[in-house]
């Protein structure tokens, strides 16, 4: 059995679904070493956008077309970063806050541009873990509610890397509560 290494992943996108909307940025860090990080901004491929989604992270598609990385290179760089920070005896576990959303874009882009997803077919959702650990209602798994309970030192700000760092802290705090 390979050792599981938790990777906190956050993305920003131009809309709600991959294939029609664009993956705009990727932020990742090792959960246990959040100073080991990956970040990139991608060139759009569809140019379809929900203005609200662009406003969340303050992205402009024309700026990304000029300054972003082409998606093939971005996904190759992402996979290379994972390979560089994991040994052959380790496997990456995708950890996200509302992981289904972030994982769906990453999965689509990995398969479309490099032919495979290094994370495989699943992800670990922090919101679900929190609900399982603390109980309550699904509506109580919003970040603001979790912050009140866990009191993390960091915060998210819709920058994919900062959000990945914040998520890593939330994940560690939940695990700490479970392991008491």
User: pTM here?
Assistant: 0.96
Interval 33-67: pLDDT, tens: 999 999 999 999 999 999 999 999 899 999 999 99
106-136 pLDDT, tens per residue? 999 999 999 999 999 999 999 999 999 999 9
User: Number of folded domains in the chain?
Assistant: 1
Average pLDDT over the chain, rounded to an integer:
96
Could you tell me what percent of the chain has a pLDDT over 70? 99
Rounded CA-CA distance 89/136 in Å is 37
Q: In this predicted structure, what is the pLDDT of residue 179?
A: 83
Question: What's the CATH code of the domain at 157?
Answer: 3.30.420.10
Instruction: Give the chain as a 3 state SS string.
Output: CCEEEEEEEEEEECCCCECCECEEEEEEEECCEEEEEEEEEECCCCCCCCHHHHHHHCCCHHHHHHHCECHHHHHHHHHHHHHHHCCCCEEEEEEECCHHHHHHHHHHHHHHHHCCCCCCCCCEEHHHHHHHHHCCCHHHHCHHHHHHHHCCCCCCCCCHHHHHHHHHHHHHHHHHHHCC
Q: Angle between the 160-178 and 143-150 helix axes, to the nearest 10 degrees?
A: 50
Cα–Cα distance measured from residue 56 to residue 108, given in angstroms and rounded to the nearest whole number: 22
Q: How far apart are CA 83 and CA 90, in angstroms?
A: 10
pLDDT of residue 51: 94
Q: Which residues are catalytic?
A: 158
pLDDT digits (tens, 9 = 90+) for 137-174: 999 999 999 999 999 999 999 999 999 999 999 999 99
**Which distant-in-sequence residues (6+ apart) come within 8 Å of 177 by Cβ?**
133, 134, 150
Domain that holds residue 100: 3-178
Which residue matches tokens 């915060």? 155
Query: Are the beta carbons of 106 and 26 closer than 8 angstroms?
Result: yes
């Amino acid at each position: 059995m390979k050792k599981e290494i938790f990777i906190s992943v956050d993305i920003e996108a131009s809309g709600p679904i991959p294939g029609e909307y664009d993956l705009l940025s990727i932020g990742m860090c090792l959960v246990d070493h959040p100073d080991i990080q990956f970040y990139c901004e991608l060139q759009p491929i569809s140019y379809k956008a929900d203005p609200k989604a662009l406003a969340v992270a303050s992205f402009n598609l024309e700026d990304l077309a000029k300054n972003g990385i082409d998606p093939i290179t971005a996904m190759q760089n992402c996979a290379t970063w994972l390979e560089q920070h994991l040994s052959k005896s380790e496997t990456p576990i995708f950890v996200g806050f509302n992981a289904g959303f972030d994982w769906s874009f990453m999965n689509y882009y990995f398969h479309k541009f490099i032919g495979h997803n290094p994370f495989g077919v699943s992800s670990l959702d922090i919101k679900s873990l929190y609900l399982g650990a603390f109980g309550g209602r699904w509506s109580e798994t919003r970040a603001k509610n979790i912050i009140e309970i866990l009191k993390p030192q960091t915060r998210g700000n819709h920058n994919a890397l900062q959000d990945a760092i914040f998520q890593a802290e939330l994940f560690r705090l939940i695990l700490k509560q479970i392991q008491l």
